[in-house]
Amino acid sequence: MVEDANGTNLQNSAKRHCIIDSEDGLIINPQLALTKQIYKSFGSATTVELYNDTIIDTPVIIKRLDKKLLFTEAQNESAKRELEIHRSLNHPNIVQLYDGCETNDEFLFVMEYIPRHDYFTEKIEVNNRPFNSKSDGGIDKLKSFTYDILKGLEYLHDNHIIHLDLKPANLMVKPVTQSNEYPLVKIGDFGLSRRFGEEGGVIIDQKCGTDKYIPPEVRSGAWITPAVDMWCFGLILHTLTVGFAPYVLKWNPGQEIPFNPRWWKKYKDTGLTDLISSCLKLDPAERITAKEALNHKWFDCRLG
């Protein structure tokens, strides 16, 4: 759960040099050499590329949002918001933005490179395998992962930011240098994130998010609060533990979650099912907060 020294050096170096002002306007510093493209989804404005900073021989990521593919004013506003919000963040459990700008053609985000960016999607969505097998670190690793996600969420919520698109694809895993530590989980992709004021929430124009992770209260014109992220966290925690979301068992929001002993027996006295239930309350006001969840008994439990 500790940031490595390399990351800090790069942050200082890259912050000064990634995007420079040239005769042609803002451009990527030629000292950054393209290594490969790592993400492009058909029809989406987003391209994610891996670069190497040739001066310090360290990888960096550049995410580009192509303005030609931002069709509506709302999409353009979201891109501006993503840049503004991501720029303001600095926490070990948040993907670090080194530099960012808007040019005539695109929005550019220069970020730290997270090597295992597909870790969660591969494990859950592709292989459908839970994380808690002994050979893969067991319950302590699960705890470490969930602790990291909650620390990132606590930081966002303390800073009056709702992520609004928390899901496995937006959680990335960075190996750490100390061999006794589990990899660090980092929250990325602030493309839907919203700031909220002292009232504790914000109204959204449009329903947004990713299908099965969208909380029940997220609709066009809805008042939303940080509790939306806790709903997504609850679904993620359920999925990390047993490999599937409760919907698979025909569960509907508002109903009791079916914690069938076939999968949950070994967590009987850990508080884990209580934590998940506290996140998946239909009424957002009843959901546990990130700060409360960090003090939940799940983090004290030991399995024999």
Q: Which residues bind Mg ion (CB under 5 A)?
A: 170, 189
Q: Which is nearer to ligand ATP, 14 or 172 (CB)?
A: 172
Kindly provide the residue ranges of all beta strands, DSSP E only, lying in 121-259, ordered along the sequence.
Answer: 161-162, 171-174, 184-187, 194-195, 202-203, 223-224
**Is-contact 48 39, C-beta < 8 A?**
yes
**Is-contact 185 149, C-beta < 8 A?**
yes
Residue 292 tokens, joined: 């409360």
> Which one, of 51, 52, 105, lies nearest residue 76 by Cα?
105
Query: Which positions from 172 through 231 interact with ligand ATP, judged by CB under 6 A?
Result: 172, 188-189, 191
Q: Which stretch binds ligand ATP (CB under 6 A): 10-18, 43-51, 212-220, 231-239?
A: 43-51
Query: Which positions from 106 through 165 interact with ligand ATP, judged by CB under 6 A?
Result: 111-114, 117-118
The interface partner of residue 95, options being Mg ion, ligand ATP, none and the CB cut-off 5 to 8 Å by kind, is: ligand ATP
Q: Does 39 bind ligand ATP (CB under 6 A)?
A: yes
- The nearest distance, CB 38 to ligand ATP, in angstroms, is 6
> Which one, of 58, 69, 5, lies nearest residue 33 by Cα?
58
Which residues make beta-bridge pairs with 109? Answer: 63, 100
Within 8 A by CB and 6+ apart from 96, the residues are 7, 11, 89, 90, 111, 112
Which of 53, 99, 165, 189 is the catalytic position?
A: 165
- The nearest distance, CB 240 to ligand ATP, in angstroms, is 17
Within 8 A by CB and 6+ apart from 180, the residues are none
Within 8 A by CB and 6+ apart from 77, the residues are none
The interface partner of residue 188, options being ligand ATP, Mg ion, none and the CB cut-off 5 to 8 Å by kind, is: ligand ATP
- The nearest distance, CB 170 to Mg ion, in angstroms, is 5
Q: Does 18 bind ligand ATP (CB under 6 A)?
A: no
Q: Which is nearer to ligand ATP, 187 or 288 (CB)?
A: 187
Query: Catalytic residue at 53?
Result: no
Chain contacts with ligand ATP (rule: CB under 6 A): 38-39, 41, 44, 46, 48, 61, 63, 95, 111-114, 117-118, 169-170, 172, 188-189, 191
List residues with catalytic annotation: 165
